[in-house]
Amino acid sequence: MRPSHFLLTSLAMVAAVPGGEWHPPNLTTESAKDLLLETGTCCAALSQALGAMVSYPGQHSFESSVASYWSVLERELSPSCVVTPNEKSDVSRAVFILRIGDEVFPGQCNFAVRSGGHTPFAGSANIESGTTIDLTKLRPIDVSADRTSNFEVVLASGEIVNANATSHPDLWRALKGGSNNFGIVTSLTMRTFPQGDFWGGFLVIDIAAIEQQFAAFEALLGNPDYDPYASLIFTLFWDAPTDVWATSYSMHYTKPMENPPAFRNFTSLPQLYGTMRTSNLTDFALELAVTNPSDHRDLFVTATCRNSAEMMAAIYRISQTIVAPLRSVPNIKLSISMQPQPAFLSRKSASTGGNAFGLNDEDEDLFNVLLTITWDRAEDDALVYRQARSLLDQLEAAARDLGVDHPYIYLNYAGPWQLDAIVAGYGAESVERLRETSRKYDPRGVFQRQVPGGFKLGI
Ligand SMILES: *[C@@H]1O[C@H](CO)[C@@H](O)[C@H](O)[C@H]1NC(C)=O
Ligand SMILES: *[C@@H]1O[C@H](CO)[C@@H](O)[C@H](O)[C@H]1NC(C)=O
Ligand SMILES: *[C@@H]1O[C@H](CO)[C@@H](O)[C@H](O)[C@H]1NC(C)=O
Ligand SMILES: *[C@@H]1O[C@H](CO)[C@@H](O)[C@H](O)[C@H]1NC(C)=O
On whether the CB atoms of residues 174 and 431 are closer than 8 A, the answer is no
pLDDT in tens, 97-150: 999 999 999 999 999 999 988 898 999 999 999 999 999 999 766 676 666 789
Mutating to test ligand 4, I would choose from 283, 284, 286, 288 the residue with most ligand atoms within 8 A of its C-beta, which is 283
In this structure, the answer to whether residues 33 and 52 fall within a common structural domain is: yes
Identify whether 459 is part of a domain: no
Give the chain's domain count. 2
In this structure, the answer to whether residues 73 and 103 fall within a common structural domain is: yes
Identify whether 278 is part of a domain: yes
pLDDT score, position 281: 96
Given a cut of 60, whether residue 67 has pLDDT beyond it is yes
Bridge partners of 303, per DSSP, are 369
pLDDT score, position 272: 97
In this structure, the answer to whether residues 48 and 110 fall within a common structural domain is: yes
Ligand 3 within 6 A of CB of 219: yes
pLDDT in tens, 227-257: 999 999 999 999 999 999 999 999 999 999 9
For ligand 3, what atom is nearest to the CA of residue 262? 13
In this structure, the answer to whether residues 320 and 395 fall within a common structural domain is: yes
Q: Which residue type occupies 409?
A: I
pLDDT score, position 18: 45
In this structure, the answer to whether residues 204 and 185 fall within a common structural domain is: no
In this structure, the answer to whether residues 81 and 138 fall within a common structural domain is: yes
Quick one: average pLDDT of 51-74? Answer: 96
In this structure, the answer to whether residues 121 and 203 fall within a common structural domain is: no
CATH of the domain at 253: 3.40.462.20
Ligand 4 within 6 A of CB of 280: yes
Identify whether 454 is part of a domain: no
* Ligand sitting nearest the alpha carbon of 171: 2
Mutating to test ligand 2, I would choose from 144, 164, 172 the residue with most ligand atoms within 8 A of its C-beta, which is 164
* Ligand sitting nearest the alpha carbon of 195: 4
pLDDT in tens, 346-374: 888 778 777 788 776 667 999 999 999 99
Dist. CA 153–CA 447, nearest whole Å: 13
On whether the CB atoms of residues 392 and 353 are closer than 8 A, the answer is no
pLDDT in tens, 416-459: 999 989 988 888 999 999 999 999 999 999 999 999 998 899 88
Quick one: average pLDDT of 259-284? Answer: 97
Nearest C-alpha to atom 10 of ligand 1 is from which residue? 26
Please give the distance, rounded to the nearest whole angstrom, from the Cα atom of residue 458 to the centre of ligand 3: 44
For ligand 3, what atom is nearest to the CA of residue 215? 5
Give the contacts of 261 (CB within 8 A, at least 6 positions apart).
227
For ligand 1, what atom is nearest to the CA of residue 25? 13
Given a cut of 60, whether residue 393 has pLDDT beyond it is yes
In this structure, the answer to whether residues 169 and 208 fall within a common structural domain is: no
In this structure, the answer to whether residues 173 and 232 fall within a common structural domain is: no
In this structure, the answer to whether residues 331 and 242 fall within a common structural domain is: yes
Burial class (CB in 10 A: 0-12, 13-18, 19+), 182: buried
Identify whether 423 is part of a domain: no
Please give the distance, rounded to the nearest whole angstrom, from the Cα atom of residue 146 to the centre of ligand 4: 28
Ligand 2 neighbours (beta carbon < 6 A): 148, 150, 162, 164, 166-167, 189
pLDDT score, position 361: 64
Identify whether 69 is part of a domain: yes
For ligand 1, what atom is nearest to the CA of residue 24? 13
In this structure, the answer to whether residues 204 and 318 fall within a common structural domain is: yes
pLDDT in tens, 2-42: 333 332 333 333 333 444 478 999 999 999 999 999 999 99
pLDDT score, position 61: 97
Quick one: average pLDDT of 155-168? Answer: 95
Phi-psi region of 98 (alpha: psi -120 to 50; beta: other; left: phi over 0): alpha
Ligand 1 neighbours (beta carbon < 6 A): 25-26
In this structure, the answer to whether residues 175 and 204 fall within a common structural domain is: no
Mutating to test ligand 3, I would choose from 211, 221, 265 the residue with most ligand atoms within 8 A of its C-beta, which is 265
| Containing structural domain, residue 375 | 198-413
Ligand 4 within 6 A of CB of 283: yes
Please give the distance, rounded to the nearest whole angstrom, from the Cα atom of residue 284 to the centre of ligand 4: 10
Mutating to test ligand 1, I would choose from 26, 87, 88 the residue with most ligand atoms within 8 A of its C-beta, which is 26
How far, in whole angstroms, is CA 303 from its chain's centroid? 14
pTM, full prediction: 0.89
